[in-house]
Every structure is written in C-alpha cells, then in structure tokens.
Amino acid sequence: MPEPILELIDVKTHFPINTGFLFKRQVGTVKAVDGVSLRVERGEVLGLVGESGCGKSTLARTILQLLPTTAGKVLLSGHSLGDSTARELIERRRDLQMVFQDPYASLNPRMTVFATLSEPLLTHGICSGKEVTQHVADLMERVGLASRFMQKYPHEFSGGQRQRIAIARALALQPKVIVADEPVSALDVSIQAQILNLLAKLVRDMGLSLIFIAHDLSVVKHISDRVAVMYLGKIVELGSASDVIDRPQHPYTRALVSAIPTPNPDIERSRKRIVLPGDPPSPINPPSGCTFHPRCPHAIAACRSEVPRLKPFDGREVSCLRAGEFS
C-alpha cells in the first residue's frame, strides 16, 4: 500500500470544562473528537459529513494543529505534526492549508488581495520581492479572478469571489493537502457550483489531496472519492462516496440520506423518510455504548452497553453492532 499523504491515528481532541474564577477546577470534558483514524491518499478527495456539533470542524482544526491533540497522532507524509517543534511545524504546514467556511470572516478586511496573497509567499521565501506581483497574478488567474483586482479590498468582492481569494491564499504555498471546512455553505446555489468546479479542477490539475467538510450530502457526494460520516466525535461509516451515500448501512447514515429533500415532487412525496426523534446528544455526557442508540430505530439492549468499532462490511467500514442485520 502506498504511504498515505495524511494519516490520523486514533486522534482525540477534548476540551476541559472549568468552573470557578480564582480556583479553577475541571468539572467535565467535551469529547469533541473521540478516536478518529483516517488515511488520505495523494490526489484523493475525502468528504467528511455530519451535523453541527459532531466535531467535524474541530477535527479539521486538529489536523492543522490549530488545536492541540489530546491523544493520538496526525502524520503528514509520515511525520507526526504533534511532536514537531515550532520551527518544524512552520515548515510542515506549508504542505497543509485550510479554507474556512465564511469568506466574510476569514479574510482581513484591511488587507488588499495583493497583501493577503503575497504574505505567505514572502514569509516562506517562495519568491523574491520582484517576482511577487507576477506570482500573485498567477494565483489569481488560477482561481478565476482577474489580476487587475489585485489592489482591491475584500468588501469590494462578492461572497463567491471572496471564497476564491481564500482558496488562492491556501494554494499560495503549493500545499499537498487542503482542508476545506464547509467552503460552500455560505454561498448561493449557482455560486456554490462555481466553487465546487474550481476545487475539483485544482485537485485534478495540481494533484492535491482535499478533505472536504460539509453537511450537505449531495455536494459531498459530487466532489468526493471517499466519504466519512461523523456522529458525536466518532466516525460511524467510511467508504467510497457511491457506497456510503447510495447504499448507506449505518442507521445514522440512512436517516441522514433519507432526510435530504430531493428536488423532484413525485419522488419526494412518495418515498418514506426516516425521521429521527430528538436532537443530537451533548458531547459532554455522551450516551453509553453506541452514542447513537437513543435515536436509533434499530437499537437493541446490547447497543446500550457495548461500544461498536469500525469494522469492514460490504466494501466499507461501519461501526454498528447490528450491521447487516437489517436491509
């Protein structure tokens, strides 16, 4: 098996809950990411889906080491990021970049496009001062922005254009892996499609690996090779995009897929929808056993006590005790 470009081994990110002002003491832990193992190959797009609060954004930040890992390892080209010194981390992060959800918040309103895009180039010594303008112009062309807008500020652009600037910034250092955290959620449908096409093209042309985080399954299915479904800090199903979304196995994935409204009145009115009761539980006091059991229509007594592990099943991995027992 070729060495994956990015590997996560049992990664955990926990946040302590403290009370008290002078004498702080810990009263609990939020287990935002609780034991995630993943491999991302070169040139692969991995989709990560889940509802709000399931830990997908925390996982993204942990991969980038914007949040420290509580346990486990993040390996980039075989090097552990958590064990790197600060200096090594700066070097290694060149290969690992992020695009955030809200392009209104992730760009500095007081920096022109040129300033935003030239900063990483100069900091990392990618090019000399003379070549910077040319480099920035190339970057802008690559993401479909005219280079004459170089001296404009973020507020002069629309949402879609700002997301293009954010993508150009992530591309500046020619990374090997880009983590995109809900890059199209804040955009209108017609603009969404433009940004998705751009990301797909960049992956094809530059041999990038992409971790694409979203809550919209149809978007994820379109762009991803493989899909991981998260629930309460854990991956519950992992496999090829067509397997997971067209023939889901885990009860949670099934409910998630059946909840997507389809833009086709006849199908939409005739199909049976699995409506899950209740809300996702709090990661402070997760339910025992399988964390999905209180909402699961197929739960049995064993689900309450036994913690399921990801196991190979029908060409993908599923963490459900009863995988295969229902069709």
| 148 makes contact with other proteins (CB under 8 A) | no
Reference 177, options 67, 99, 69, 231; nearest CA is: 99
Binding residue for other proteins (CB under 8 A) from 222, 247, 298, 322? 222
| 275 makes contact with other proteins (CB under 8 A) | yes
CB 272 within 8 A of CB 70: no
Q: How many chain residues bind other proteins (CB under 8 A)?
A: 42
Q: Which helix (H) or strand (E) is 138 found in, with range? A: helix 132-142
| 241 makes contact with other proteins (CB under 8 A) | yes
| 158 makes contact with other proteins (CB under 8 A) | yes
CB 48 within 8 A of CB 235: no
Q: Which is nearer to other proteins, 87 or 269 (CB)?
A: 269
Binding residue for other proteins (CB under 8 A) from 37, 65, 112, 194? 194
Pairing label, strands 45-49, 316-318: unpaired
Binding residue for other proteins (CB under 8 A) from 17, 90, 105, 259? 259
Region near other proteins per CB under 8 A, out of 31-39, 164-172, 191-199, 307-315: 191-199
Binding residue for other proteins (CB under 8 A) from 18, 123, 134, 242? 242
CA separation for the pair 142, 204 (Å, rounded):
13
The C-alpha R_g of the chain, in whole angstroms, comes to 21
Where in 285-324 is the site for other proteins (CB under 8 A)? none
CA separation for the pair 222, 216 (Å, rounded):
10
Where in 30-89 is the site for other proteins (CB under 8 A)? 51-52
3-class secondary-structure state, position 295: helix
Binding residue for other proteins (CB under 8 A) from 18, 128, 264, 288? 264
Smallest distance, other proteins to C-beta of residue 80, A? 34
CA separation for the pair 76, 4 (Å, rounded):
8
| 18 makes contact with other proteins (CB under 8 A) | no
